Amino acid sequence: MMIMEVYLDNSATTKVRKEVIDKMLEVLEEEYGNPSSLHRKGYQAEKLLKEARENVACLIGGRPEGIIFTSGGTESNNLALIGVAESLKKKGNHIISSTIEHPSILNVLKFLEESGFKVTYIEVDKKGKVNPEDVENAINDKTILISIMAVNNEIGTIEPIEEIASIAKRNGVLFHVDAVQAAGKIEIDVKKQKLDMVSLSAHKIHGPKGVGALYLSEEVRIRPIIFGGGQEKNIRSGTENMPGIVGFGVASRLAKESLEEVSQKLMGLKKRLWEGISSEIKDVHLNGPEVEEGAPHILNVSFRGVRGEVLLHALEEEGIYVSTGSACSSKKRGGSHVLKAIGLKGDLLEGAIRFSLGIFNTEEDIDYTVDILKKKVDFLRRFKRR
Ligand SMILES: Cc1ncc(COP(=O)(O)O)c(C=O)c1O
């Protein structure tokens, strides 16, 4: 018998859209030129690069010239933080961020602290929210940068980036937003929201892995962290990853075109999943924001008395793929820094599962998942009591 396959780990990565694959294959097979070459093949590649840049910029309402292509969200975050720190170190050495950022922010901050920078980590409330007032109070005359994520990857909290951006502007401090989990799910508009720098990643929006972008507004000047032939305005040298970039462009265009439809669909599925879980299974706890307040694609739930990892593998046996925390932290010991930051302890910390939805999920997937969850949780709880 074929078991159903239900992929609910879309915050870790997503399935690539067919339109993206087709365009990438065209680049690999035919448009293989180097955009820096002076001949026709190079010119054609340059045209594709320009088109991709326009599509990615359009996803966040930005100028195409502000897009710097990178190898993904991790590199974009490294480039933003180290790039600003290096270029503004004469002005100041203080950075503000939050305790629930992705490791590609937190570990860069640790590195910067080792090199003499001071970092204030803003604590979040029980729903994972940063209070903009805390950010304002943390600013001092040495503050050069604020970096706060738009959507948390483990619990789906939507941070008040617009308010933080106003505070940053008022105080003459640069504001960077890790929008890797937000793009394509909620509106990100660099002009309206007054964002100076934004990190993006293609593989979270049904594009390929290993490609992303850092958006820089006109006023921002950063030092490169990779040196070479001067590509990407001398900010990110290296021959462009053309298949990846072009795929990212297509994924961005589709994400932009379907933003409203997708976010409504995902929110509908998320609500269905939570209603199913909370009505069918006892002793469950919603981690993070209320269902309708969070990002449409992330639901984090603890099942009291069941270890998250055990449940993950029990679900896997039935073709359901979920996560215990973020993909990056799930193999590390000690529990998620995000769940700890919102005050989770003991049973609830150990029993957390992240369900993350994507465009290919259906209501049938959700109903099947609730059904299997109920059986597995019942079984594991009974098994534990024996
Ligand atoms: C919020 C956030 N930032 C950054 C990243 C890193 O992106 P990438 O996998 O493209 O390096 C991730 C990936 O999980 C993420 O969720």
Q: Which of 192, 328, 332, 383 is catalytic?
A: 328
List every span in the chain annotated with CATH 3.40.640.10: 18-257
- β-partners of residue 124 are 130
Backbone dihedral angles phi then psi of residue 197, each to the nearest 5 degrees = -145, 140
Ligand 1 atom closest to the CA of 212, numbered from 1: 10
User: Rounded to an integer, what is the distance from CA 104 to the centroid of its chain?
Assistant: 11
Q: Is 195 helix (H, G, I), strand (E, B) or coil?
A: coil
16 within 8 A of 208, measured Cβ to Cβ: yes
- Asked if residue 102 has its Cβ within 6 Å of ligand 1, the reply is yes
Instruction: Give the strand pairing for 284-287 and 298-303.
Output: antiparallel
Q: How far apart are CA 125 and CA 341, in angstroms?
A: 8
For residue 328, indicate whether it is catalytic: yes
Ligand 1 atom closest to the CA of 74, numbered from 1: 11
- Asked if residue 9 has its Cβ within 6 Å of ligand 1, the reply is no
Q: How far apart are CA 64 and CA 218, in angstroms?
A: 11
CATH entry 3.30.420.10 includes domain 18-257: no
H/E stretch holding 353: strand 352-356
| pLDDT tens, per residue, the chain with 386 residues | 678 999 999 999 999 999 999 999 999 999 999 999 999 999 999 999 999 999 999 999 999 999 999 999 999 999 999 999 999 999 999 999 999 999 999 999 999 999 999 999 999 999 999 999 999 999 999 999 999 999 999 999 999 999 999 999 999 999 999 999 999 999 999 999 999 999 999 999 999 999 999 999 999 999 999 999 999 999 999 999 999 999 999 999 999 999 999 999 999 999 999 999 999 999 999 999 999 999 999 999 999 999 999 999 999 999 999 999 645 555 555 689 999 999 999 999 999 999 999 999 999 999 999 999 999 999 999 876 65
Nearest to 6 by CA among 371, 381, 375, 378: 371
Q: Is 143 helix (H, G, I), strand (E, B) or coil?
A: strand
Atom 14 of ligand 1, nearest CA residue: 12
DSSP states of 218-232 as a string? TT-----SB-SS-TG
What's the CATH code, domain 6-15+259-385? Answer: 3.90.1150.10
List every span in the chain annotated with CATH 3.90.1150.10: 6-15+259-385
